[in-house]
Amino acid sequence: MKVVQLLQKAWPEFIVLFSSMAYLMIRIVADVNKINLPTWFECFDIPTISLFLMTFILLYKSKENIISE
pLDDT band at 68 (very low <50, low <70, confident <90, very high): low
Q: How far apart are CA 26 and CA 36, in angstroms?
A: 10
Is 48 among the domain residues? yes
Is 28 among the domain residues? no
Residue numbers of the domain that contains 38: 34-63
- At 7-65, the pLDDT tens digits run 777 888 888 888 888 888 888 888 888 788 888 887 878 888 888 888 888 888 887 66
- Enter the pTM of the model: 0.67
What is residue 69's predicted lDDT score, i.e. its pLDDT? Answer: 59
Neighbouring residues of 7: CB distance < 8 A, sequence distance ≥ 6: 14
Is 50 among the domain residues? yes
Our count of domains for the chain comes to: 1
Is 1 among the domain residues? no
Is 68 among the domain residues? no
C-beta atoms surrounding 16 within 10 Å: 19
Is 22 among the domain residues? no
Residue 3 scores a pLDDT above 80 = no
Is 58 among the domain residues? yes
Give the distance, in angstroms, between the CA of residue 67 and the centroid of all CA atoms in the same chain.
26
Residue with more model confidence, 5 or 22: 22
